[in-house]
A and B are shown apart, each in its own frame.
Chain A
Amino acid sequence: MNTTAALYGGMRRRRYLTTAAAVGAGLLAGCTDLVETRQLRSAPAVLAERPAAVYYPTHVDGMAMVGATDAGPYRVALMYSYPHRFWTVTGAESQQTEISAEDDVHLMAVVWDRETETLLPESGLSVAIERDGTPISEEVIYPMLSQPMGFHYGANFGLDGEGSYSVSVRVGGVSTRRTGAYRGRFESPATGTIPFEYSATARDELPYTETMDRAGERAARRPMGMGMLPSSALPAPAALPGVNHGTTTIGDARLLIQSLSPPPAGLAGGPSYLAISARTPYNAFVLPAMALEGRLTRAGEPVYVGDLSRTLDPALDYHYGAVVPSVEPGDRLEIGVRVPSQVARHEGYETAFLSTETATVTLA
């Protein structure tokens, strides 16, 4: 640590930056160096006491739009922020990914269908960064949830200093079951390339807010409005097709129970369809990549026992569903989480949505 850093050691980087900017450009240059040297501001430590539920985070990093482009049937938008800590999930285990010394930015991509303006939460994405035709980095990036940003794909990246980069976002073909007008779509990969002018100074001017006064409360920040992006909130029950039979909660995940008849186009049998729309509390962000099982009984007799399959449908949006003979009020439905949502999480979501419990509901 250099002398200046030592002097300001106890001060949050953002406040130091503000002070430096007020003093003058000369100092600001030094300050950028300082930030580069220190690598990163010190965000507050992860709370020692966290509920096993969604909670209000300790801080919020601002972000900026890098650009957007078309890629095959998709529209891809790219944003960046400070490098973030986040948690990946494998099975029911979450593991924190620390910010590494080489990381310069957290890149975030959002992918949606241009035709329906609907987010696609289960593509495989990779990002390739080049500078003057020279590869700098190439990485598979993870689906993630953050309170300010909602659902996105993200990763921390190290760059090769300030300057002009090109960032290619490659969207893999989707293998999730698709119904209705989504049948036969999204099968091929598509790539969109977005120029990125990186400056550490500009990055360090992104807002950074500590929220220690509310940190740990069972609440969530409101999402930032990113005007040009479709929302990652799922439709309200009234906006979903079919009949709503209530909502249950597992591990703080909200599971809306819907039925409709006939099933979405492309699914044989029925004649009814049971759909679970899984979302975060407060913000109704999509919770993808779970393995759910359902057991529907009527007067003690099983009506349907089996998987509720991950499905993309233009009207139901991303959901978990099964073709069933019928769904009636008064039926008992057990919903079991075999594998919790494998989406990676930013702070405030990492302790939620990990439960593998079973909920039992009497349908409304």
Chain B
Amino acid sequence: MTDRPALGRRELIRSAVAVGGAVGLAACLDAIGEDAPKGAPPAGVADPSRLPERQHAWDDRIRHDDAGNAELPRHQSLWYLELQEPPDADARVSLETALETLDRALERSHDGLLYSLAYSPEYFDRYFAEPLPEGLDLPPARRLSAFETPEIDRQDALLHLATDRPTLLLEVEAALRGELDRLNGVTVETALTDVFDLETRRTGFVGAGMPAAEASEVQGVAAGTTIPDASPLFMGFKAGFARNQATESYVTLDRGPFAGGTTKHVSNIRQRLDDWYGEQSYEERVMEMFSPGHAEAGLLEGAGDGLGDDSKIDRFVDDIEADASEYGRVGHAQKAARANRDADGNVLLLRRHFESSDEGQASLHFPSLQRGISQFEAVRQAMNGQDLTQVSPAVRQRVNNGILEYIFTKHRGNFLVVPRSLRALPTPTGGPS
């Protein structure tokens, strides 16, 4: 390994992933050293048609912490794709072949590769005369607060790649571009980029230690700001506790041509970390991320290990107006939870967020899976807390109102994660074109 004292190994690997392509791959191989996952990645399946229909079935294929909380693969990328030609039979075969290469080459797991290919409502609208099924809740993405002005992602498709192996992520990407002959011993026959143009590539990471290591790489983190080493995310806390997440089954469409699929909203949110850490004490961050009651009861230590598999947020949801009056602050999780339960108390959204330092900015990629996009929209509107600004003037549109002061939504896009058997350029009816 080359001696480069200015950057730590982790940062080197991460910047290699962010750069991508052949340059990134070379840099990554150079940086990865000896303590990357050992040996070749586990192989995939001989018959991809026997893989589960749910492309989003990741939970039994990833690591979990001691409390049973999901730990997503450490390295991820999002490929926003535009079709080169309207979909046809040749393109479908070519695309399916490219994807089956991944299925054969790599185990569907954090140690191999997890991925899903999803399609935007704009794709269905652009290329097909027939409408999507009645009852499929998949509107185009839109602005979801009175203060954000996100760019809407209207590309045809979104490929989400995730693995614990940074070099492998780059190799997979090279295979999808047709730049590799073989992937983990399997011949690469077609390139995904024969069918799609890669319009935008975004990358990211998640896991204890990674945000702390990455902090020096991003703008918006003041010198002296210390992101706790144990934190899997930039803002210093764990998120997505098992009991506060929807199950994969719950978010899966159970009828219609896309049964087995799910809807996916992905936002990209810039974070202003120097103010988050610089303007506030740990207690204040706990109040704003969880609830004033969490701080008062001392429920958290560090990044939130003491919480086990439950953020305990449901206990504090009913306090929210009283908290606005008493503390002049309300919590992010507390607000969102108000709209994130069904009548039986089941959680509606399965959040799979990860961090990014693309373009030197600290940001969050926020994919959320749910049966319908309107569920996501309702949770986001609850998180806006506009009602609470009327309870106390101390809670303002974006100040003392959860974490809204520190986050800036830059992109939003809606997608349909189709069942695996329909993943190659589906029609709106799920049938052959």
Contact = CB atoms under 8 A, between A and B. Distances in A.
How many interface residues does chain A have, given as a range?
Answer: 35 or more
A91 B394 contact: yes
Interface residues of B, number: 34
Interface string B315-343: 00000000001011100000000000000
Interface stretch (A37-45, A186-194, A235-243, A265-273): A186-194
A291 B392 contact: yes
B247 interface: no
A175 B393 contact: no
A90 B328 contact: yes
A138 B408 contact: yes
B411 interface: no
B222 interface: yes
Interface string B265-305: 00000101001001100000000000000000000000000
A124 B398 contact: yes
Contacts of B329: 90
A90 B149 contact: no
Greatest chain B CB density within 10 A among A97, A174, A288, A342 is at A342
Interface in A254-306: 288-291
A173 B147 contact: yes
Most buried by A among B270, B278, B390, B404: B390
A186 to B, nearest CB: 9
Interface in A169-185: 170, 172-175
B167 interface: no
Interface in A221-260: none
A139 interface: yes
Contacts of B186: none
B150 to A, nearest CB: 10
Contact of A135 (B143, B328, B361): B361
Contact of A126 (B147, B220, B325, B389): B147
Nearest to B405: A140
A37 B6 CA distance: 26
Contacts of B201: none
Contacts of B380: none
A310 interface: yes
B148 interface: yes
A339 B408 contact: no
B400 interface: yes
Interface in B399-420: 399-400, 404-405, 408
A191 B408 CA distance: 14
Given A90-B328, A91-B328, A189 B146 contact: yes
Interface in B359-414: 359, 361, 386, 389-390, 392-394, 396-400, 404-405, 408
B286 to A, nearest CB: 16
A126 B279 CA distance: 17
A37 to B, nearest CB: 17
B219 interface: yes
Contact of B408 (A97, A102, A126): A126
A142 interface: yes
A139 B275 contact: yes
Contacts of B400: 90
B222 A102 contact: yes
Contacts of B389: 175
Interface string A336-351: 0011011000000000
Interface in A90-132: 90-91, 97, 100, 102, 123-124, 126, 128
A342 B396 contact: yes
A291 B389 CA distance: 11
Contacts of A139: 272, 275
A290 B399 CA distance: 15
13 contacts: A90-B329, A91-B327, A102-B222, A124-B146, A124-B397, A138-B408, A140-B405, A170-B149, A172-B147, A173-B147, A189-B149, A309-B390, A338-B325
Interface of A: 89-91, 97, 100, 102, 123-124, 126, 128, 135-140, 142, 170, 172-175, 187-189, 191, 288-291, 309-310, 338-339, 341-342
User: Top 10 nearest A-B pairs by Cβ distance?
Assistant: A173-B146, A124-B397, A172-B147, A289-B393, A91-B328, A90-B328, A140-B405, A140-B398, A342-B393, A124-B398
